[in-house]
Amino acid sequence: MDARTAILERIRAALGNEVATVHVPREYLRTARCADPVTVFVDRLVDYRATVRHCDQDALADALGTVLADSPTLVVPPDVPDAWLQSYAGMVCRDGDPAPLSLAELNAASAVLTGCTVAVATTGTIVLDAGATQGRRALTLVPDRHVCVVRVDQIVPSVPEAVARLHPGSPLTWISGPSATSDIELNRVEGVHGPRRLEVVLVR
C-alpha cells in the first residue's frame, strides 16, 4: 500500500462510524546491554553536574543529614518517612500538611527532598510520577535545590524498561541533571526551568 492510499483510508475511517485498526510497529529495542547500570547511572549524573552520595539503607538518615546540613529549611512530600529526617536539624515543611505550600513558600525553601519511581542508567535520568515519597510536580520544579533518594533496585538500563514501570496516566517528571539551558552563543545558564542543584543519595 502506498502512502496516498494509506492516508485516504485513514481519512475515510475518521469520517465514518468505525475506526480502522492501525498496526503500530514495535521493533525498537526494549532492553539495553549494560554490564553495570549503577556505575553508568552515576557516570551520567556526574557528567550532568549533579552530585552523588552513596550509602546503605541503615545509613540513609545520616547521609541525608550530612547532605542537607547547610539547608535551614526543607520541603518534603507528606509521606516521606520520619526515619529519613532523623539526622536533619533544620525546619521541615511537609507539603499538604495541613495545606499545599504556596509557590512563594516553595521558592523560599532551601531544598526539597523526594524519592523517585525509576531511574535510567544509559541516560542518567530520574523519573518521578507523583507516587510515594515524591509529592506533586511543583515540589521539584520550584525550589532551587533538589535532593533525591534513589535505590539501586530502581535503576534500569534503558528508557523502554523505565516506561514499562510507569502508568501512562501519571504526571511524569523526567530529570536528567540540574536544570540548564544555553542561549544562541552557547552560554550555559542553570536553574531556569527547575533546580540549579541536583543531589542524588544512592541507596545500596
Return the domain boundaries, the chain.
Answer: 32-203
pLDDT band per the 50, 70, 90 thresholds, residue 19 = low
Residue 106's CB is within 10 A of a number of other CB atoms, namely 20
Residue 20: its pLDDT value, please? 66
- Find out whether 178 and 192 touch, Cβ atoms under 8 Å: no
pLDDT tens digit sequence for 165-201: 999 889 999 999 988 787 777 777 777 778 999 999 9
> Three-state secondary structure along 60-76?
HHHHHHHHCCCCCEEEE
**CATH class name, domain 32-203:** alpha beta
